[in-house]
Chain A
Amino acid sequence: MLKFLCAITGVLLAAALTIDTAEAKSPEVAPIEGVPTLMTGTYDVAKLGYTTNEYFVSGVANSYSAPQPLASDGRWTARVSGTAPYRTRIVVMRPTSGMTVDRVALDWWLLFTAVKACVIWTTAASGFASGKNREMTMALSGIRANHFHRDLILKIMRAKGAMG
């Protein structure tokens, strides 16, 4: 039987959360022998070309607090306010082929996803503007999220030295 200790930390989720991660440390990872039992479906993933492995992950987790009152616009700042030891387990399913990822090439995918997001937000804005959909979230995502991703595209392009 697996025993694990998990330290629950405060988690803040927001559209634009700024987190001070200066004290974050990589966890220790230890493989676990045997085959994990998971409710992942009725099919055998090995037949689909995937290998399943289980690991203990342990370390020191940060908890966070907000130094200022949380504003309604979701633009919050979180600061490390405490730590606690944790130990949990994860199951990793990966292609048996052992194919490695070209991380540099994959990094460009970030740019593509930002462009793709802009298409979604532009469509949302267009839907609201035409009167076909008057949901406030459509209008706001057309304005806020669209700007966020256009700005992100420019930042990625600059970071990659791809601006001429």
Chain B
Amino acid sequence: MTSKSLSIDNALHGLDEFLRDKIAPAIADPYVAPMARLSGLLLRICANSVDDATELRVDENAAIREVLGQAAALVSEPLAAQLQGAAASADPGLKISVLDEENQRLRILLVTAQCELEKDTSAAAKARDRTIWRLLESIEAKRAPRERP
């Protein structure tokens, strides 16, 4: 028989349930009571995104780097060198804050690259542009708030 450890997400789910089922019903204030329920919902969303938070960001950064590398061949200098540099880079750490900072750096380059590609009417540029849009759709789907327990 395996015992389940008290993980961060497990604790946050517990707090959500406590706020929703015990605290909120006991609050008479008509403003504070729903705020307590919303606090629970926020905790639930956080709880559901704890376990794979690092994996999601590492995968996302890698996917952006791959697209930046592909786009580098289609844009002019100095952007091409910037994109190649980013494509060859690695995450500087595994803390969420570090991965998020790197993600922001890569996303800015992605926007810059896409702007350049959309000025180019060649078939190759359009194909890369479509790749970026598909990547953005994939990122948004994976980052959707998870509200179900």
A interface residues with partner B (beta carbon < 8 Å): 72-73, 75, 135-137, 139-140, 143-144, 147, 150-151, 154, 157-158, 163-164
Contact = CB atoms under 8 A, between A and B. Distances in A.
Interface residues of B, number: 25
Nearest to B118: A164
Interface in B117-149: 118, 126-130, 132-134, 136-137, 140-141, 143-145, 147
Contacts of A164: 118, 126-130, 132-133
A139 B44 CA distance: 13
A72 B127 CA distance: 43
A106 B140 CA distance: 26
B35 A154 contact: no
- Tell me whether chain A's interface is mostly helix, strand or loop, or mixed: helix
Nearest to B129: A164
Nearest to A154: B137
A77 to B, nearest CB: 15
Contacts of B39: 136
26 contacts: A72-B37, A73-B147, A75-B147, A135-B35, A136-B42, A137-B38, A139-B42, A140-B38, A140-B42, A140-B45, A143-B42, A143-B45, A144-B147, A147-B140, A147-B143, A147-B144, A151-B140, A151-B144, A154-B137, A154-B140, A163-B129, A163-B133, A164-B118, A164-B126, A164-B130, A164-B133
A151 B138 CA distance: 10
Can you list the 9 inter-chain pairs with the closest CB atoms, starting with the nearest? A164-B129, A164-B130, A163-B133, A136-B38, A164-B126, A73-B147, A136-B35, A143-B145, A154-B137
